[in-house]
Amino acid sequence: MFAHKFERRLLSQRKAGLFRDPPLLDGRNGKHVYVDGAKVLNLSSNDYLGLGSSQKVNEIVAQNFLKFGSSASSSRLVSANHKVIHQAESAFAEYFGYDECVFFPSGYQANLAVVSTFFDQEDRVFFDKHIHASSVTGLKAGQCQFSGFKHNNLAHLEKRLEKSGRDTTAVLTESLFSMDGDILDVAEFKRLKARHGFLSVIDEAHAFGALGPGGQGIGKDAADIAPGTLGKAMGLFGAFVLMPKGLKSYLFNFASPLIYSTSLPAAHAASALEILKIVEESEDRRERLQKNSRYLRDRLAEAGFQVAGDAHILAVEIGEETKTYRISRRLLERGMFVFSARYPTVPQGRAILRLSMTAMHDEKDIRFFVEQLKEICEHEFLQ
């Protein structure tokens, strides 16, 4: 019975052009990945600064695992509350300018914990309709009353706030959106916060490490709580949540995803601590990242593509799902790895090629990619 149901769902997924079958990789080296023995330029990696591909970071991580062991072997609340994790959390809180910090095994888990733990039946939460799936799952799990506002439309948010009139209101958004690549108007968001007095959660997963002085992100002025991930610009995996005083203890007492899951290993926290120093000193990488991103955006616009994105995440709008998927497959055949983001990752009928730039790319890579994309679209898809 279940087998039949699963088959039916997969078939309709296929028919709608939404089937997921990511290419199998043989390996990865800097800005390249290997697919079926072929070397392919990766335009879909969130290793924005190139740290995850650097020998230095890989050695740091290897040495820390030798020193601290491979696993935490229990939850933080059982026998894995290692001092080095607290040290790393304090260093992160201080570096990013918050009172407290808690590490999580992943950003997904962090958002699930934050949203489902801090907000419950008594609270009303407004969320940007394009926030990450992990926060949406957290909203459903926490049973708060929630409603969306139009993506990055703060005038619409204000209308919602004016109607709400409740005391315990919170707003969830992102500083740099993961698919659209656009940036929150932090000054306007701060004004709304001052006027309406809500608690703000600004997910900086794609900004920490990559944007702002020292990679300190861009939302600090307006964020009470800021989840970040170690798996993107920081070149590791795992996540952290930055918060005001007292909330760490609240998570330790009430956050089910933290309490009932094996902790991030101590080796991992020790590595994050060392990587933070490298992030601080990576201004040259951040400049290269910005320069590459601007160059890619300009070349795409010049070639006639509809391109969105204010920083290192760029979205080329294609629309139809099957077509978007097929373009990404053609690109792969020509040696370029590009993610086709389709529903439900993006709204239905609004599929995109989601490009992420890194400090490892150069102008030659970018020109090659844009030329190939143009050729594919013009000759094979008659744009």
Ligand X SMILES: Cc1ncc(COP(=O)(O)O)c(C=O)c1O
Contact set with ligand X (CB under 6 A):
106-108, 111, 132, 134, 174, 178, 203, 205-206, 229, 231, 239
Question: Nearest-CB residue to ligand X?
Answer: 107
DSSP-based three-state secondary structure for 248? helix
Which CB, 235 or 370, lies closer to ligand X?
Answer: 235
CA atoms of 161 and 126, how far apart (whole Å): 8
Angle, helices 186-196/154-164, rounded to nearest 10 degrees: 10
C-beta of 108 vs 369, nearer to ligand X? 108
Shortest Å distance, C-beta 229 to ligand X: 4
CB of 118 to ligand X, least distance (A): 16
Between 100 and 203, name the residue whose CB sits nearer to ligand X: 203
Q: Please name the helix (run of DSSP H) or strand (run of DSSP E) that holds residue 68, with its range, or none.
A: helix 55-68
- Please choose, from the candidates 229, 214, 364, the residue with its C-alpha nearest in 3D space to the C-alpha of residue 284: 214
For residues 172 and 117, give the distance between their C-alpha atoms in angstroms, rounded to a whole number. Answer: 14
Residue (202 or 373) nearer to ligand X, CB: 202
Q: Which is nearer to ligand X, 242 or 376 (CB)?
A: 242
Chain Cα centroid distance, residue 98: 20
Please state the closest distance from residue 100 (CB atom) to ligand X, in A.
19
Minimal distance, residue 257 CB to ligand X, in Å:
12
CA distances from 173 to 124, 280, 304 (A): 15, 25, 31
Question: Least separation, in Å, of the C-beta of 261 and ligand X?
Answer: 13
Taking the complex as a whole, the smallest distance from the CB of residue 205 to ligand X amounts, in Å, to 4
Nearer to ligand X, 132 or 285 (CB): 132
| Edge-to-edge strand list for the sheet holding 145-149 | 145-149, 124-128, 169-174, 199-203
Q: How far apart are CA 330 and CA 210, in angstroms?
A: 30
